[in-house]
Structure 1
Amino acid sequence: MPGKLAAWVRKITRDDDQIDAEVLTDQVDATGAIRAQVCCQGQRVTLHGRLRYVDLRPTEHQATLVAELYDGTDAVQLIWLGRRSIPGVEPGRTMNVRGRVALRDGQKVIYNPDYDLLPVSV
C-alpha cells in the first residue's frame, strides 16, 4: 500500500509541463514516430510533436523560417530555407515531420522537412 500512496502523491503533484510532456510522448509512441531524444545526426526520421515557437530569421541572403518541435522528450529545430511563412505552421500546432537530422551549434535540426499539419483540437 505505501507504494501506491507514493505513486498517487507523485501523480497529483506533477506540474502541467510534466503532464504535457507525458501526453506528447504517449502520442509519439502511438503514431510510430521516433522520439526526438534518441534520434541522431544523419538519421532519416519521422517525428511527432507540438510547435513551441515559430520565428522568421531573415539573413543577408535569404529568409529563413525556424520552428521548434517538442515531443515530450527533446526538441528539434525545423528550418525552412527561403520561406517567410507557411500557412498553419504556428506555435501550439501539432504536426508530423519527416527529414534527415543534422546538428547545428549542438542543436538537432531538420532542414526543409516534409510535414503534415494535424487537426487543431479544441
Structure 2
Amino acid sequence: MASVATGYFRRLTRKLTEDVDQLDAEEMAESSKAEGATQACDCRRGEEVTMVGRLRSVEARSTTGSTGVEAGFFDGTDEITLVWIGRRRIPGLETGKRILVRGRVGERGGRKVIFNPYYELRDDS
C-alpha cells in the first residue's frame, strides 16, 4: 500500500512542478501513438505517413504567383509544416485544432513538410 501512495505522490509532484507544455506534449505523443499513428520524430523524407496532432499555427501565404495555406502541425514529438497549394483558406483549419493528416513527407529548407495532405478534423477530447 505504501508503494501505491508513493507512486501517487510522485505523479502528483511531477504534474505540479513540470512544465505544462512538456506535459501536454507527452500526453499528445501518447495519444497519437495509441491511435496507431506515425510519430513525427520517426518519419523520414519520401515516406507515406498518417499522423494525429494539433495545429500550432495556420496562415495564408502568398508568394510570387502562388497562394497557399501553411500550418504548423505538432504531435508531441516534432513539428511538420503542412502546405495546401492554391488555397487561400480552408474552413475548419484553425490554430489549436486536433487533426489527422496523411501524406508523403518532403523537405523544404531542411525541415519536414507535407504538401497537399489529406486531413480529417478530430474532436478536441
TM-score, normalization: structure 1?
A: 0.90
Q: How does 1:1-20 map to 2 (within 5 A)?
A: 7-8=10-11, 9-20=13-24
Report what 2:57 is aligned to. 53
The percent identity for this pair of structures is: 45
Query: Rg larger in 1 or in 2?
Result: 2
Report what 1:67 is aligned to. 71
Deviation, 1:11, is 4.1
Query: Residues 120, 12 of structure 1: CA spacing in aligned structure 2 closer, same or farther, 3 A cutoff?
Result: closer
Q: Which runs of 5+ in 1 are unaligned?
A: none
> Is 1:110 equivalent to 2:114 in the alignment?
yes
Q: Which runs of 5+ in 2 are unaligned?
A: none
CA distance in 1, matches of 2:33, 2:60: 31
Which 10-residue stretch deviates more, 5-14 or 20-29? 5-14
CA distance in 1, matches of 2:24, 2:97: 14
Where is the helix percentage greater, Structure 1 or Structure 2? 2
Question: What is the aligned length?
Answer: 120
Cα RMSD after superposing both structures: 1.8
Q: How does 1:20-59 map to 2 (within 5 A)?
A: 20-59=24-63
CA distance in 1, matches of 2:57, 2:32: 19
1:97 equivalent among 96, 101, 120 = 101
Deviation, 1:120, is 3.9
- Report the secondary structure of 2:62's partner residue: coil
